[in-house]
Amino acid sequence: MSEVLAPPPARNIALIDLLDRLLQGGIVIQGDITLTAADIDLVRLDLRLLLAAIDKAAGQ
C-alpha cells in the first residue's frame, strides 16, 4: 500500500485499512504492546476503531 498522498476520501479509506491491519492484525508477542497513547492524533478519523484497537492491546 503506497497511496500515502492519495486525496480524500481514498486517503481516509487507506488510513482506516492501515489501522485495521497495524493495530488489529499481525502477530504479537504475548503481553508486549508498547504504544504511547499521549501521541494519539487519529481520533478525528475513527475514534471507535482506534479505541477498539487500544482496548484489545490493553487486554493482552
- Taking the chain, what is the end-to-end CA distance rounded to the nearest angstrom? 28
Alpha-carbon distance of 27 to 44, in angstroms, equals 27
Considering only 13, 47, 51, 58, the residue that binds another protein (CB under 8 A) is 13
Rounded to 10 degrees, the C-alpha dihedral 2/47/36/9 comes to 20
Q: Does 46 bind another protein (CB under 8 A)?
A: no
The reply to whether 47 sits near another protein by the rule CB under 8 A is no
Residue 36 is a binding residue for another protein (CB under 8 A): yes
Q: Report the interface residues with another protein, using CB under 8 A.
A: 1-4, 13-15, 17-29, 32-37, 39-42, 57
